[in-house]
Chains A and B, each alone.
Chain A
Amino acid sequence: MEILIAIAVMALGALTLGAALGYAAIRFKVEGDLITGKVEAILPQTQCGQCGFAGCKPYAEAIVRGEAEINLCPPGGDEGAKKLADLLGREFKPVSGGGDGEAVKPRLTAIIREAECIGCTLCIQACPVDAIVGAARQMHTVIETLCTGCELCVKPCPVECIDMVSVPETLATWKYAYPIIPIKSAERAHDVPNNVGAMNDTQSSHRKVA
């Protein structure tokens, strides 16, 4: 008898709670999601597909659905993975797969050797961000400021006239470095050369832009 009461009580409880939850499921129905946008904002928008998805948005959607890791984006680097980990509360994983995690890929830009270009427009179709201009049978050129360095145009080129070159540092892009006097090498810090060269050393100024 007692066992029946117990069952009845528990069943009653389960029913009540079930009804409440059922109502809540309808009342608090969620439409759309805001997170995908935030994830996508972190991705570098190179649209390079190195993550295995067709562009940054599909990758962002996959991350939010929990189907993709957050460390699949080489252009975003560890910095980007860190930001994603922060946003989503997931554990940070280095992009390069451990080891040389700090090595950052230098920024590249595509350059078309214009003399060799045959004007096939294949690279224009390949470029995900419309950074290549030109018409059929006309020479094409890359608008360097728009190029994301995704390398998608390199393969389609039938005459292999597209090179990926690193963007040179200029006065506008130069940044101060991280201070280099770690506590570890405290006694060696005195040896860091901070003299700017001998008085008659005029050679140095003829250095060309790297």
Chain B
Amino acid sequence: MLQKLFKFKGGIKPAHHKAESQGAPIAIAPLPGRLVIPLSQSAGEAAQPVVAVGDRVLKGQFIGRAEGWLSSAVHASTSGTVVAVEPRLMPHPSGLATLSVVIEPDGEDRWLPLQAPDYKNMSPKAVLQYLQDAGVVGMGGAGFPSHAKMQNSTVLEDLVINGAECEPYITCDDRLMRERAGEIVAGSRVIRDLLQVKRVLIGIEDNKPEAIAAMREAVEAMGETTFSVVVVPTLYPAGGIKQLIRVLTGKEIPVDKRSTDLGIQCFNVATALSVWRALNLGEPVVNRIVTLTGNVEQAGNWEVLIGTPMNELLALARPKADTDGIIMGGPMMGISVPAFDVPVIKASNCLIARSPALFPPPPPEMPCIRCGACARVCPQELQPFELYWWSRARQFDKAQAYNLASCIECGCCAYVCPANIPLVQYFRFSKGEIRAAAKEQKMADSAKARFEFKQFRAEREKAEKAEKLARAAAAQAAKLAAERDTPPGGESDTAVYAADAKQAVIAAAVERARLQRAETDSRDA
């Protein structure tokens, strides 16, 4: 099985730091004292709470309903009582609170009676709906609702199952592939059938030989000929969607296209497993595998309930005394959580205990000398120093001209920058400003349309009113004229009638002026 591989430009090779937790089998984390389950765990709209304070819930019970198509349901991770539905901090760089359901476990961890759906006889649409209700989202870190990625609008050729896990420290997918390869392959098969793809490529970095062996064995055991486990060279960010697809298929996805436009869809191994669990066991996503590592005595991989406070979880790995923070995700793209007790969410693949020794504070930022080191490592082949130059000066249109939108924020540029410039933050800042400006522009456009419509309406109403008045005046004049023709009339009468008609016209004009004045008054006010 010799798969032709491709290369992507750039990339870096930071120290792996996977050895610390690689050898530790997945263990089940104990029930925490309290679970905080944020309702916005996926990309798109936040879920709407369907429970109230005081409700008793069972494990796997619906607590948040998906809002619209790009949204995903949320479930209780254990049985217990809802003690609060209120904004709580979540692991997000903003440090903002979002609506969360707080559950006090009853200790029984009792499942809702689970019923596996008969997915083989369901319509694809119904299967996707089922997955949305089961809360299946991307488990690799991005948290994109999975059902939304399975809408088969174009003919797809390849399904890429991402087991590359290219970020340092993280080993949860490695352990998952070693221990639950069969379920991953089964899940991939379900996705393959849903998407009707011809080929399934499972990409794994060559620093995980055991996982590769386990996956190969599972594929062989299933007797799947459309599957191939492909070993990709270890090079960060080989696990980035665009880079992995490039390595496996040679296709490059432009910024304005989706992978499906090129006939490829991509899922993380853990996501494939969640799909399998949801469809085969009827089990919604209530837990995930989390790697605990970094500044700890005993790194390991744990199966953790969603909503478990991070400080309680990290205690299992016995963090050292000088721990001063937690990074959720990898050290290249993860986020520094705003508090120790924020909950584990569906996207939390790894918790790294920070310490000044392990992650020294960034040295002072120096001026960019345009050395081009960043451009050499950029996997998107951008010119980060140009993006920086314009981002720093807040000239966003120039930054856009240098393809800021194509940046995947992988952090390679900032990693190699000799001037220690926080390039990624500059780019995120610029992207945020550009997004906000676009939003504002959209609002301004719609405001303008409504303003113009209102003016048009006022104009029309005025015209209608004037016309009505003129018609009335004309009618009156005609009536008067008719009256004058028959009965006894005189010269003076005619004059009076004529004056009447004139008055009606004046009245109409006065009315018009008044309206106009009223309008300008209200506008000036």
In the complex, are the beta carbons of A177 and B429 less than 8 A apart?
yes
Check B489 for interface membership: any CB of A closer than 8 A: no
Q: Which residues of B contact A207 (CB under 8 A)?
A: 89, 97
Check B447 for interface membership: any CB of A closer than 8 A: yes
Picked from A49, A173, A189, A199, the residue with its CB within 8 Å of the CB of B323 is: A199
Stretch at the interface among A13-21, A91-99, A112-120, A126-134: A126-134
Check B336 for interface membership: any CB of A closer than 8 A: yes
Picked from B338, B429, B447, the residue with its CB within 8 Å of the CB of A179 is: B429
A40 to B449, CA, bound (A): 12
Known: A125-B522, A196-B338, A207-B97. Is A176-B361 also a contact (CB below 8 A)?
Answer: no
Interface core residue of A55, A56, A129 (most chain B CB under 10 Å) = A129
Interface core residue of B363, B425, B447 (most chain A CB under 10 Å) = B447
In the complex, are the beta carbons of A169 and B339 less than 8 A apart?
no
Interface bracket on A: 35 or more
In the complex, are the beta carbons of B88 and A179 less than 8 A apart?
no
Known: A130-B454, A146-B447, A195-B325. Is A181-B525 also a contact (CB below 8 A)?
Answer: no
Interface bracket on B: 35 or more
The closest CB in chain A to the CB of B97 belongs to A209
Interface string of A186-209 (1 = CB under 8 A from B): 110110101111111110111111
Picked from A44, A171, A186, A199, the residue with its CB within 8 Å of the CB of B340 is: A199
Picked from A125, A126, A171, the residue with its CB within 8 Å of the CB of B94 is: A171
The closest CB in chain B to the CB of A148 belongs to B447
Check B255 for interface membership: any CB of A closer than 8 A: no
Check B155 for interface membership: any CB of A closer than 8 A: no
In the complex, are the beta carbons of A179 and B339 less than 8 A apart?
no
Is chain A's interface secondary structure helix, strand, loop, or mixed overall? loop
Which B357-384 residues have a C-beta within 8 angstroms of A? 361-367
Check B341 for interface membership: any CB of A closer than 8 A: yes
In the complex, are the beta carbons of B336 and A175 less than 8 A apart?
no
In the complex, are the beta carbons of B96 and A196 less than 8 A apart?
no
In the complex, are the beta carbons of A174 and B94 less than 8 A apart?
yes
A150 to B290, CA, bound (A): 49
In the complex, are the beta carbons of B451 and A197 less than 8 A apart?
no
Stretch at the interface among B131-139, B212-220, B435-443: B435-443
Q: Which residues of A contact B87 (CB under 8 A)?
A: 208-209
A-B contact pairs, 5 of them (CB 8 A): A47-B448, A131-B450, A174-B94, A189-B364, A197-B339
